């Protein structure tokens, strides 16, 4: 009897507290938001692309001019 109780107790330790992967993902996202990991992101790509295009046009003008 004691062995069966110990086995049942051990199996219970491996049980997941979430009933589906959706619950797990929601809890994970909520925890990460609480930690501030999903803060406001800064988007510098438009400025970087503009400077890259300006440099490409300038290089083309210098090479062909």
pLDDT tens-digit series, residues 29-62 = 999 989 888 877 778 889 999 999 999 999 999 9
Structure tokens that stand for 21 in this block: 């992967």
Q: What is the largest CA-CA distance in the chain?
A: 93
**Eight-state DSSP code of residue 40:** P
For residue 41, give the DSSP letter. P
pLDDT tens track for 6-25: 777 766 666 677 788 899 99
Q: Domain ranges in the chain?
A: 2-64
Q: What is the pTM of this model?
A: 0.41
């Amino acid at each position: 009897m004691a062995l069966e109780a110990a086995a049942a107790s051990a199996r219970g330790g491996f049980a997941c507290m979430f009933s589906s992967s959706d619950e797990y993902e929601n809890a994970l996202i909520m925890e990460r938001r609480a930690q501030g990991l999903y803060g406001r992101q800064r988007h510098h790509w438009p400025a970087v692309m503009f400077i890259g295009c300006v440099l490409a046009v300038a290089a083309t003008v210098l090479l062909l001019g």
